[in-house]
Amino acid sequence: MKITDTIQYVGVNDHQIDLFEGQYHVPNGMAYNSYLILDEKTAVMDSVDAHFTSEWLSGLEGKLGKKGPDYLIIQHMEPDHAGSIRAFTGRFPDTIVVSNQKAFAMMDQFFDFPDGQKRQTVKNGDSLCLGKHTLNFLFAPMVHWPEVMVTYESSEKVLFSADGFGKFGANDISEPWDEEARRYYIGIVGKYGAQVQRLLKEASKLDIQIICPLHGPVLSDAIGHAVSLYDQWSSYRPETEGIVIAYTSVYGHTQEAALLLADELRACGCEALEIFDLARCDQAEAVAKAFQYSTLVFATTTYNADIFPFMRDFVIHLEERGFCGRRVGIIENGSWAPNAARTIKEMLKSCKNLEFAEPVVTLRSAMKDAERAKIRELASSLLNPGKGSAEESEALDTKAVEETAKSSSVPAASQKEDKPAKLRYVCSFCGYVYPGEELPADYVCPISKHKADAFRLIPES
């Protein structure tokens, strides 16, 4: 793979792997990317997984001949990228390994190096001249390890982005980028949205024509699209106005309720709808879809005075990754003491700006006509934002008033004393309250960035 006349691809494809990081299904394998920069001084960008050391080193020698590279740049110490460092230094002992202090500390934890190994430690903002090419190092801690840095090559405007902008799948298989990039981002990087936002802010100052990630294809034509998605994912904004139903079922009754809800939603015109049986689906895909869509419904059984294990894992994955700003519906089932709704709400208590739709549908064993009516009511509530629980609506309104007060020179206490507007417009995604009486048609929420049609109208009580 040719990147430019002087930057070449020297990575490998892995079709032996079934679970990436021991948990993510990768039916199309993985790519471990490495790059070679040819100049007066030559540099190799990162290594590959130890299972492919021989293939990688052979590929390097095929391009370099007998002359070893001058530098090996290590941006990230995770073993799928750093696994071949020790073999590389054994093959090319005169090559200088370039990285940062935290990365070298990890390197010595993974490997035993001989005395006198050549190293060059760089700091944030340092640069390294290769001749016509200059490498500029930008630290990106917790995207998604603490030692991570990215590298900008200024002459050809190439960003070597470490794990950023990576995806699942080997590079010798053609497939759409968005789906597997989203699943990769949400699963692996999703917890660190604030850190990704900081990196995007720094990257926006650069003229980037090519992105070379450590997984997945090199990006050139679709950089704007990829950056836009990363901005959306890392700020936790839904991509799609629609509904995900995630369910677990022991004897089929909860499944029946979940499927009935799906039918009711479709009958009401909801086209953006996906449903997942958490015991059988790829859980990482279900988690990624929960972040993609604006509304999520949990349907599960009470199990050992808790919730069914697959649902518990699902909720944990959401909470760990900062799930927020969504509408949520719940269907629970329990033959003698249903408490799944209470358990889910407790597990999600750290998740901000969730609007819980009413009613919570409670099945006691099997679904009867009364529960079917409640499911129809829930479907209507999910499709008509603003019918959340009184407790949650009060919390959203309180938060919104506080945020409005912070942005105003008038103290919050004074605002409460003012004569209220007759109508209030509240953003369905983040709870922001528009301070005026009439919402302009072209208004955009300053917090969630959604347009006027995302606001719900609340009459003053």
| 173 plus 196 within the same structural domain | yes
Task: Specify the higher pLDDT residue, 400 or 329.
Answer: 329
Confidence at 404, pLDDT banded by 50, 70, 90:
very low
Residue 405 pLDDT greater than 70, yes or no: no
Tell whether 115 is covered by a domain.
yes
Tell whether 397 is covered by a domain.
no
Show the domain range for 84: 7-234
Tell me the CATH number at 449: 2.20.28
Instruction: List all residues 6 or more positions away from 10 whose beta carbon is below 8 Å from its beta carbon.
Output: 34, 35, 36, 44, 56, 59, 60, 63
**What pLDDT does residue 454 have?**
77
| 55 plus 188 within the same structural domain | yes
Lowest mean pLDDT among 123-132, 229-238, 259-268, 401-410: 401-410
Mean pLDDT of 274-295: 97
Q: What percent of the chain has pLDDT over 90?
A: 80
| 312 plus 359 within the same structural domain | yes
| 285 plus 434 within the same structural domain | no
Tell me the CATH number at 321: 3.40.50.360
- For the chain, helix, strand, coil in percent to 5 are 35, 25, 40
Asked whether the beta carbons of 354 and 321 are under 8 A apart, the reply is: no
The domain boundary, picked from 332, 362, 388, lies at 388
As given in the structure block, the two tokens for residue 237 are 């904004």
Tell whether 279 is covered by a domain.
yes
Residue 420 pLDDT greater than 90, yes or no: no
The position carrying tokens 């920069």 is 37
**What pLDDT does residue 410 have?**
34
| 225 plus 257 within the same structural domain | no
CB atoms within 10 A of CB 227: 17
Tell whether 377 is covered by a domain.
yes
Mean pLDDT of 218-222: 93
Residue 397 pLDDT greater than 90, yes or no: no
**What pLDDT does residue 449 have?**
67
The domain boundary, picked from 200, 216, 234, lies at 234
Cα 113 to the chain's mean position, in Å? 36
pTM here? 0.81
Residue 102 pLDDT greater than 70, yes or no: yes
Residue 225 pLDDT greater than 70, yes or no: yes
Lowest mean pLDDT among 56-60, 113-117, 223-227, 273-277: 113-117
| 365 plus 421 within the same structural domain | no
Q: Determine the 3-state secondary structure of 307 from DSSP.
A: strand
Of the candidates 324, 448, 327, 342, the one whose C-alpha atom is nearest the C-alpha of residue 393 is 327
Question: In total, how many domains does the chain have?
Answer: 3
**What pLDDT does residue 434 have?**
77
Q: What percent of the chain has pLDDT over 70?
A: 89
**What pLDDT does residue 450 have?**
72
| 211 plus 162 within the same structural domain | yes
| 38 plus 80 within the same structural domain | yes
| 245 plus 226 within the same structural domain | no
Tell whether 1 is covered by a domain.
no
Tell whether 399 is covered by a domain.
no
The domain boundary, picked from 337, 361, 388, lies at 388
Residue 186 pLDDT greater than 70, yes or no: yes
Residue pLDDT, tens place only, 53-93: 999 999 999 999 878 899 999 999 999 999 999 999 999 99
**What pLDDT does residue 82 have?**
96
Tell whether 158 is covered by a domain.
yes
Tell whether 2 is covered by a domain.
no
**What pLDDT does residue 459 have?**
54
Q: Is the dihedral of CA 171, 142, 4, 93 positive or negative?
A: negative
| 424 plus 315 within the same structural domain | no
| 221 plus 73 within the same structural domain | yes
Lowest mean pLDDT among 53-67, 172-186, 447-461: 447-461
| 198 plus 244 within the same structural domain | no
Residue pLDDT, tens place only, 122-141: 999 999 999 999 999 999 99
Tell me the CATH number at 54: 3.60.15.10
